Copies of this chain bind each other. A is one copy, B any other.
């Protein structure tokens, strides 16, 4: 019987890997570099080699392992087809088939990294006990993963759960990385909060600790906790946008829980104080009975979720 499973999370510079038992205990974690040269042609062979090496080290036979789950930064269809993963150098390829072939037919499941991380948070993180979950990652950008009845909502072309690009502002003049104007990511990511802060500092004469030193999502929320008025205004703007975005998601998806992760979430539950007012004002009332929770797995969410895809 298969008692082991591998979880792989491919990033632009390194590949995180984990060996788990089927209960979800991580037995070992390691990293290998992501070799993106030549359109990333080495990435899957490197992963396969590392899996095989680990199996040899631990004297695991193929039948001891449920398979290998893999998350990558790009849209992944249910079939395993990846449509361009720019950070990896990949054009279209069937990741699932190719990796399975490199692993002598072992079972492989694949998904988008944000979606896979959402599954990880459901399994062993902030979303435990729930099967309908929306994970929101407030990092450099805003990522999202949607779990419906315990399964990743992939979307028809693998682009499901792109909640960072919900349109929330008609009057934005700076473009989002995606090319549109007024995406949630422009206000709710770490970068977005910094931008809101710089705008506020420029537009206001108010005293603020933010006028000295670095302006970042972290310093903004530290200032909020210290009672800084201008920082509180910035947090209100952030929360207004994010609450409206989550409100829309709530009416469409009707989840049980939002799990908020990423660097910005290190500010803690104080975030919810700023998100909830606009959420409660704008979300469909029949879908407002949602839990707000913090993610707990940090950067390991991806390997957990990848492993869970096989179980």
Contact = CB atoms under 8 A, between A and B. Distances in A.
A251 B156 contact: no
Given A156-B132, A162-B284, A252 B254 contact: no
Interface stretch (A15-23, A219-227, A285-293): A285-293
Given A166-B251, A249-B252, A252-B163, A284 B178 contact: yes
Given A167-B244, A282-B167, A252 B180 contact: no
A126 interface: no
A161 interface: yes
A179 interface: yes
A67 interface: no
A277 to B, nearest CB: 13
Interface string A258-296: 000000000000000000000001111111010000000
Contacts of A161: 252, 254
A287 B252 CA distance: 16
Interface residues on A, range: 35 or more
A153 interface: yes
A157 B287 contact: yes
Interface string A105-138: 0000000000000000000000000011000000
A180 to B, nearest CB: 6
A146 interface: yes
A309 to B, nearest CB: 16
Contacts of A132: 155-156
A209 interface: no
Contact of A180 (B154, B255, B284): B284
A55 interface: no
A248 B157 contact: no
A17 B161 CA distance: 37
B252 A160 contact: yes
Interface string A141-175: 00010101100011111111111011100000000
A62 to B, nearest CB: 30
Contacts of A156: 131-132, 254-256
A-B pairs, top 3 by smallest CB distance, nearest first, are A155-B254, A167-B282, A165-B284
Given A157-B289, A158-B254, A249-B252, 20 more contacts: A146-B252, A148-B153, A154-B254, A155-B254, A155-B287, A156-B255, A159-B251, A159-B287, A160-B252, A160-B254, A161-B252, A162-B251, A162-B286, A162-B287, A163-B252, A165-B284, A167-B248, A178-B284, A180-B282, A252-B252
11 contacts: A131-B156, A155-B255, A156-B255, A159-B284, A166-B252, A167-B248, A167-B283, A178-B285, A179-B285, A180-B281, A252-B252
